[in-house]
A and B are shown apart, each in its own frame.
Chain A
Amino acid sequence: GIQVEQSPPDLILQEGANSTLRCNFSDSVNNLQWFHQNPWGQLINLFYIPSGTKQNGRLSATTVATERYSLLYISSSQTTDSGVYFCAVEAGANNLFFGTGTRLTVIP
């Protein structure tokens, strides 16, 4: 199956700082999603972004499909942003391939 790599694996930020998370994928994809998994295990879809740029409040995402990567930007981070961020791609099959995630810890 398609390979999805995320970096960095771990990130510690002071509250208020900005960050960029990266997702590289090994093949053409039909779709790409970013998820946030909270400490209780709940996965929440943040963006559905096969290409281009989207913004939602303090979060934005950019996917460059021709170069097979996506970036998630978090600005003015808050402690509630802590958790694991996953990139997941859909590549023809009826399922998502997930990366191993970036664990973000925001400290006050």
Chain B
Amino acid sequence: DTAVSQTPKYLVTQMGNDKSIKCEQNLGHDTMYWYKQDSKKFLKIMFSYNNKELIINETVPNRFSPKSPDKAHLNLHINSLELGDSAVYFCASSPGAGQPQHFGDGTRLSIL
């Protein structure tokens, strides 16, 4: 039983395209997150949502638009993809604020 699941696992696309990544958690958690991991493996928070409400937007370009239809889902839509967007994107969830986060297996985005 996958706790935090992301789709797709791999995404290869051309510069300028628009793409979406989906995330679902079956842990009953209230809080969900998106992270970007760069080529040096550094993990940086992008967005935090609590009960479908945006709590943190860590100065992410507005080409990135998260959407939370319910507290079990947090999807990430990216417009006008750029070369610098190539990275691994991780979704995570936690029971609430200040709690340990549980991560999905990542979506590897490659921009050609």
Do A and B interact with each other, yes or no? no
Residues of B within 8 A of A (CB): none
Residues of A within 8 A of B (CB): none
